[in-house]
């Protein structure tokens, strides 16, 4: 049984983006595969993404000064290219490959679901992606955000509290009138502890067919649990 839901007080839905709205794994596998680098594109995509949390942790701890995801993605990419023994890309090609994160494909339900949810709620991003990345992605994929909020605005990466609480502060609302929508329970747990409502979205193939996610269990502390954005729209009467 989920926490009693409070759709009537809800005003703003804040969406995690990588994995929740867009399929980073499938998009990167396609682009890396098309480059013909002679590597396993699935392993390459996984390695690139695996560098994400450690890189952000270095910013969160203060070891690195504020650094945007674009720059972190590039630092990780340079190491992954070494690890995979790829020496054939020139600087322009590396730069272009790094921009794959700006053109990730949305999950099939994302645009239609967001358009429904936008009729009833203010829909915003709450992503560690930088503003330029998220704006390029939205323009490319047709994501109809009312506002793009980013770690770059708050100068803090999730799960720092400044990010989750920043959503309500932006709109002069208490946390319970905002909701984090995400495919990651640790992200939702951090938001829940700060008083936001939460919606878990099942994305079983976020990490690709080789690494299907198995923990799609309902949790007692989430307010909503949906297979995709259209099911969430149904649950919220949008």
In the complex with its own copies, the residue whose CB is nearer, 22 or 29, is 22
> What's the burial of 182, exposed, middle or buried (CB within 10 Å: 0-12/13-18/19+)?
buried
Query: 14: helix, coil or strand?
Result: strand
In the complex with its own copies, the residue whose CB is nearer, 56 or 167, is 167
- Tokens 């259209």 belong to which residue? 230
Q: What are phi and psi of 143, to 5 degrees?
A: -80, 120
**Residue 66 Cβ vs its own copies, minimum distance, rounded to whole Å:** 13
In the complex with its own copies, the residue whose CB is nearer, 41 or 59, is 59
**Residue 85 Cβ vs its own copies, minimum distance, rounded to whole Å:** 29
Q: Which residues bind its own copies (CB under 8 A)?
A: 70, 122, 124, 130-132, 134-136, 138-139, 146-149, 152-153, 170-172
- How open is the CA angle 146-150-154, to the nearest 5 degrees? 120
Which residues does 91 contact at the CB level (< 8 Å), separation at least 6? none
**Residue 152 Cβ vs its own copies, minimum distance, rounded to whole Å:** 8
**Residue 173 Cβ vs its own copies, minimum distance, rounded to whole Å:** 9
Do 164 and 153 contact (CB within 8 A), yes or no?
no
In the complex with its own copies, the residue whose CB is nearer, 35 or 153, is 153
In the complex with its own copies, the residue whose CB is nearer, 4 or 65, is 65
Q: What are phi and psi of 175, to 5 degrees?
A: -55, -35
CA atoms within 13 A on the CB side of 66: 10
* Strand order, beta sheet including 197-201: 147-150, 122-127, 12-15, 178-182, 197-201, 224-226
Do 2 and 200 contact (CB within 8 A), yes or no?
no
**Residue 137 Cβ vs its own copies, minimum distance, rounded to whole Å:** 10
Cα radius of gyration (the chain): 18
**Residue 42 Cβ vs its own copies, minimum distance, rounded to whole Å:** 29
**Residue 128 Cβ vs its own copies, minimum distance, rounded to whole Å:** 16
In the complex with its own copies, the residue whose CB is nearer, 131 or 216, is 131
């Amino acid at each position: 049984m989920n926490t009693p839901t409070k759709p009537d007080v809800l005003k703003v839905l804040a969406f995690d983006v990588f994995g929740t709205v867009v399929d980073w794994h499938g998009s990167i596998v396609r682009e890396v595969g098309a480059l013909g680098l002679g590597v396993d594109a699935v392993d390459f995509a996984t390695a690139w993404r695996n560098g994400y949390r450690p890189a952000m942790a270095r910013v969160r701890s203060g070891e690195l000064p504020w650094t945007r995801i674009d720059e972190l993605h590039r630092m990780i990419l340079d190491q992954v290219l070494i690890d995979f023994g790829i020496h054939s890309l020139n600087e322009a090609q590396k730069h272009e490959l790094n921009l794959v994160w700006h053109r990730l494909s949305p999950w099939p339900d994302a645009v239609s679901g967001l358009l429904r949810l936008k009729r009833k709620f203010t829909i915003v991003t709450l992503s560690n992606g930088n503003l330029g990345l998220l704006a390029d992605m939205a323009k490319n994929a047709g994501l109809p955000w009312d506002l793009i909020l980013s770690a770059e605005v708050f100068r803090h990466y999730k799960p720092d509290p400044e990010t989750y609480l920043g959503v309500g502060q932006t709109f002069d609302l208490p946390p319970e009138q905002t909701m984090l929508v995400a495919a990651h329970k640790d992200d939702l747990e951090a938001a829940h502890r700060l008083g936001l409502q939460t919606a878990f979205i099942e994305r079983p193939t976020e990490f690709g067919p080789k690494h299907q996610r198995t923990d799609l269990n309902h949790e007692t502390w989430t307010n909503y649990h949906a297979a995709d954005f259209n099911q969430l729209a149904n649950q919220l009467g949008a």
